[in-house]
Structure 1
Amino acid sequence: MSEIGNKLNSNAAADNYIIKNVLLETGFIKDATGAFINATETALYNVAVESGKIAKLWTGNAGTTESDIVDAKGFLMLPAFKDMHVHLDKTLYGLPWQAVNTGRRTIYDMIAYEQEIIPELLKTSTKRAEQLIDLMQSYGTTFARTHFNVDPTSGLHSLENLQKALDNLNGRFNAELVAFPQHGVFYTDSAALLKEAAKLDSVRFIGGVDPYGVDRAIKKVLDFTVSLALDNSKGIDIHLHDGGKEGLETVEYLIQKVEENPSLKGNTYISHAFVLGRLDQKTLDRIAESLAAAKIGIVSSIPFAGLVMPVPTLIRHGVQVLAGNDNIQDHWSTFGSGSMLQKANLMAQLYGWSSEYDLSRTLRFATGNVLPLTDQGEHSWPAAGDPAEFVLVNASCSAEAVARIAPVKAFAHKGDINWTMEG
């Protein structure tokens, strides 16, 4: 283990400490014409952490002689990463490698397969969830929005086992939970279980999946979901893979329901929303404007096998776009590394965001829209009072971190620093 590894670990439980030699971004550097950003300005800082929060920032050597010092060795500090769509409850991570069986072609094939394997998976799902969280943290992720199955086969055991995993981590990872009727709300009679889950304080969102594709009942499913969310003061996060007129109708009807119930604005999300990637530009612009007005966010795993999501258009219209790994080695997808920085890198490649400025903005998809610099190049993070949620990476700036998927050297959650790689 390296010197920084030892030092970080020795301070892992400290409430108050100082990190010296931290590289922070301070602004953009323009070319001679002043029209193009060609570099990012940085400087070495000291960062004081007290009771899990950033207390102050300063340069120079003054105030860095105390015993509780961590030497960051010039590594770049970035906001900790957030995975905004993942399934921690039914990963195959920790089991022998297996790729997806492409013979299961329909959603009903997958539901039948889950009904077959879930009883066995539940026996070890707590341990494997812990292992998957360890993997995600090694890539700098300290927060996740995770879905857990609610269906007659799982009952509420997926939630119970996932909650055990989170409890076993003793608060070193934060998650918000989404009750997810993977097998349909009515197709497998999951409504009663969803009502039970919705009453739990630990559950933050009511989920859903393809109201048409699974239940063949767009309005019935969305009316039920909206009512359940309102009755229990929850948010909504709907998986939507349906395309065509049914997919579009689902988006439009959810917008209508949110506009009728303003308390859901800013608290409603559509995950995937693949239909948006197949709309003509005029229709897409109309829907994007409506999504922004209703404050409905889009959460994407950034698919690209024949479908590129219109993320630039959504952002241009003011739609909140979040990203997640979704499947990390499970029976739905062969891919998913657990790295949010890799997701940001993939987006930069897909959308041609190759300039210093664009790459720096792309970091937002790894951090849940927290950036060190504003669009105008003003320092915005970290600041006194911010939660001490950060990563130290081997990069000179955000743009390089995204372009090269910079190695994560350490991460901090609630101020507690953990070493991940040799410095």
Structure 2
Amino acid sequence: MWIRDVRPWGGDLSDVRLEGEVVAEVRPATGGTGSATAEVGERHTDDLQGRGRLLLPAFADVHVHLDSTRLGLPFRPHTGGTGVWELMLNDRAHWRTAEVGIVERVERTLGLMVGRGTTRVRSFAQVDVDAGLERLEAVLAARETHRERAEVQVIAFPQAGLLREEGSAQVLEDALRAGADVVGGIDPCSLDRDPVRHLDIVFGLAERYGVPVDVHLHEPGELGRFSADLILERTVALGMQGNVLISHGYGLWDGTEPQTRDLVERLAEADVATATVAPGGRQTLPLELLAGKGVRVGLGEDGQRDYWSPYGNADMLDRTWQLAFTHGFRRDELVEHCLAVATRGGATIMDRSLGRLDGVGDRPGVAVGDRADLVLLAGETPTAAVMDRSPDRTVLHRGRVVAEGLELV
């Protein structure tokens, strides 16, 4: 299939040929009317017409809690308390009583995400002594429903910790046996109050089942940096470089400049990634420094209008705008870097064979040999597309059109 008259990353008008699941050729466009040259081959009715739109890698949401979504349901006022434990208890009290079943909720939200341009997803699924594997099974079912439209990795996530409720560690292991792709952890100091034991369980399961690790880290300041030190130590000791991610990491970046530079260097050396949900305030990341050192950084939407928060709308382009806005970016290069983080950056977390972003000016993902997970997006420039967030989008997964104009095909 040819994609006609598109502008890769806002560059020159081009024709792009797909062979199966990959980009096979990119060449100057042969014109919006008339037939192509004999070398290019005849135009066919099944050619995809770009209409001068941008061609970008499809989005990768690498931090989303699909199992708690309420998108599409009646709006409920926020009832959660403060702190992780109080918010978890509020979610636990309500998630079973939603207006429709959890499988339907998750499938619908994942479909909305694909329609808006996301074809790679890393979703958490809460596993604890209350939910058992019910929430995990819902996410696995949604993955199966949309298996031709998106690649989904599922994280077994101990939202309630591993040490506060008897049997939590066993449920986490059961989730890995049931098909989870990644083992999660959370606030080993502030929630479980025993970081060594918590991380020993998480990394022990990762080693036993050969899966990556993703640790939620909301801990502040020195406490957060202490937990990060323990995570880095285990990553290197177990040879898990490229297979560990620290989510959020709010408190990692409020230290001195030497502390920040030292931590970035160690993350890069151990190939430990990080994912943000662009919360703003003092919780921003040193994105330029992280990119310059080659640290893998991904973006996610977190909850989707759930019992934790009223935010989230299944649109990673909207969250890209939020990432740029909360960091105060105005230069085109930096706004476009946010797009690179939201697309290829997340993809490199899900597939470590993909090279890390090489600085804030790197624009990969639409070249010959790249997998054809793509989005055609209306916009004068990539920065303009982030600002305008047009619904005029065409989404491809593995070389097939899966959504058009925000609707699934």
Please tell me the TM-score bracket, short chain as reference. 0.7 to 0.9
SS state at 2:76 partner: coil
Are residue 43 (structure 1) and residue 21 (structure 2) matched?
no
Give the Cα separation in 1 of the matches to 2:380 and 2:92.
48
1:374: Cα distance to partner? 7.5
Over 3 Å counting, the alpha-carbon distance change for 1:317 and 1:122 in structure 2 is farther
1:404: Cα distance to partner? 3.2
Over 3 Å counting, the alpha-carbon distance change for 1:377 and 1:87 in structure 2 is closer
Over 3 Å counting, the alpha-carbon distance change for 1:154 and 1:376 in structure 2 is closer
Aligned residue number for residue 351 of structure 2 = none
What amino acid is aligned across from residue 187 of structure 2 in structure 1?
D
Are residue 19 (structure 1) and residue 3 (structure 2) matched?
yes
Give the Cα separation in 2 of the matches to 1:226 and 1:387.
31
Give the Cα separation in 2 of the matches to 1:137 and 1:334.
21
Are residue 391 (structure 1) and residue 375 (structure 2) matched?
yes
Q: Is the 8 A contact 2:294 2:358 kept in 1?
A: no
Aligned residue number for residue 355 of structure 1 = 331
Q: Deviation per CA, 1:327-386: give whole Å up to 9, x if none.
A: 111111121232222222223233343223333322112203279x98698985423332
Which of 334-343 and 85-94 deviates more? 334-343
Aligned residue number for residue 176 of structure 1 = 153
Q: Is the 8 A contact 1:187 1:215 kept in 2?
A: yes
Are residue 319 (structure 1) and residue 295 (structure 2) matched?
yes
Q: Is the 8 A contact 2:54 2:378 kept in 1?
A: yes
Aligned residue number for residue 339 of structure 1 = 315
Give the Cα separation in 2 of the matches to 1:19 and 1:121.
42
Give the Cα separation in 1 of the matches to 2:65 and 2:2.
36
Over 3 Å counting, the alpha-carbon distance change for 1:192 and 1:389 in structure 2 is same
Q: Is the 8 A contact 1:147 1:177 kept in 2?
A: yes
Q: Deviation per CA, 1:287-342: give whole Å up to 9, x if none.
A: 22222211111111111145333333333443221111111111111212322222
1:195: Cα distance to partner? 1.3
Over 3 Å counting, the alpha-carbon distance change for 1:49 and 1:135 in structure 2 is same
What amino acid is aligned across from residue 412 of structure 1 in structure 2?
L
% identity of equivalent residues: 28
Are residue 82 (structure 1) and residue 50 (structure 2) matched?
no
Q: Is the 8 A contact 2:291 2:358 kept in 1?
A: no
1:408: Cα distance to partner? 4.2
1:95: Cα distance to partner? 1.8
Give the Cα separation in 2 of the matches to 1:315 and 1:147.
25
SS state at 2:66 partner: coil
Over 3 Å counting, the alpha-carbon distance change for 1:383 and 1:275 in structure 2 is same
Q: Is the 8 A contact 1:241 1:247 kept in 2?
A: yes
Over 3 Å counting, the alpha-carbon distance change for 1:269 and 1:125 in structure 2 is same
What amino acid is aligned across from residue 120 of structure 1 in structure 2?
T
Give the Cα separation in 1 of the matches to 2:111 and 2:73.
15
Specify which of 373, 396, 405 is matched with residue 420 of structure 1. Answer: 405
Structure 1: stretches of 5+ with no match in the other structure: 1-16, 26-39
1:147: Cα distance to partner? 0.4
Give the Cα separation in 2 of the matches to 1:150 and 1:187.
14
Specify which of 102, 126, 150 is matched with residue 125 of structure 1. Answer: 102
What amino acid is aligned across from residue 122 of structure 2 in structure 1?
R
Query: TM-score under structure 2 normalisation?
Result: 0.87
Over 3 Å counting, the alpha-carbon distance change for 1:298 and 1:100 in structure 2 is same
Give the Cα separation in 2 of the matches to 1:341 and 1:177.
22
Are residue 56 (structure 1) and residue 25 (structure 2) matched?
yes
Which of 332-341 and 150-159 deviates more? 332-341
Give the Cα separation in 2 of the matches to 1:282 and 1:219.
26
Q: Deviation per CA, 1:174-206: give whole Å up to 9, x if none.
A: 111111001111212310011122234x32211
- Structure with max Cα Rg: 1
Structure 2: stretches of 5+ with no match in the other structure: 31-35, 348-354
What amino acid is aligned across from residue 414 of structure 1 in structure 2?
R
Give the Cα separation in 1 of the matches to 2:14 and 2:54.
10
Specify which of 224, 235, 242 is matched with residue 201 of structure 2. Answer: 224
SS state at 1:337 partner: coil
Query: TM-score under structure 1 normalisation?
Result: 0.84
Aligned residue number for residue 350 of structure 2 = none
Which of 353-362 and 153-162 deviates more? 353-362
Specify which of 342, 365, 368 is matched with residue 341 of structure 2. Answer: 365
Over 3 Å counting, the alpha-carbon distance change for 1:297 and 1:239 in structure 2 is same
